[in-house]
């Protein structure tokens, strides 16, 4: 019975670790997107949705690339953190199986 209560409390203990990993992953994804955009378009800054000098295609392309990079980096960081916690404690950091909503 003690194991179940430990499993229920553990995700709460993982939250600060998850937050730090998420912050670091966001910074890494931002850097990766800037490098990718520079390689694709040879521009320092990606277009913003409110930029009047950019067309729909360019804005949507930048948004799609940015979204794909952020999703991939977020998944990699989350998975790496969960695997590290599971290896060090023997307990998976989430209560149930399944992905994000």
Tokens of 80: 């790496």
pTM for this structure? 0.75
Measured distance CA(54)–CA(15) in Å, rounded: 40
CA nearest 78: which of 12, 17, 10?
Answer: 17
Percent of the chain residues topping a pLDDT of 90: 46
pLDDT in tens, 27-39: 999 999 999 999 9
Which is higher by pLDDT, 19 or 31? 31
**pLDDT over 80 (residue 7):** no
**pLDDT over 70 (residue 41):** yes
**pLDDT over 70 (residue 52):** yes
Q: What is the DSSP letter of 25?
A: H
Sign of dihedral through CA atoms 19, 68, 41, 59? negative
């Amino acid at each position: 019975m003690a194991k179940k209560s430990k499993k229920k409390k553990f995700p709460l203990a993982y939250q600060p670790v998850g937050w730090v990993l998420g912050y670091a992953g966001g910074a890494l994804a931002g850097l990766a997107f800037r490098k990718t955009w520079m390689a694709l378009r040879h521009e320092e800054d990606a277009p913003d949705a409110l930029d009047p000098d950019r067309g729909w295609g360019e804005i949507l392309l930048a948004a799609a690339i940015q979204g794909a990079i952020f999703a991939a980096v977020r998944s990699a960081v989350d998975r790496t953190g969960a695997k590290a916690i599971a290896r060090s404690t023997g307990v998976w950091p989430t209560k149930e199986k399944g992905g994000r909503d």
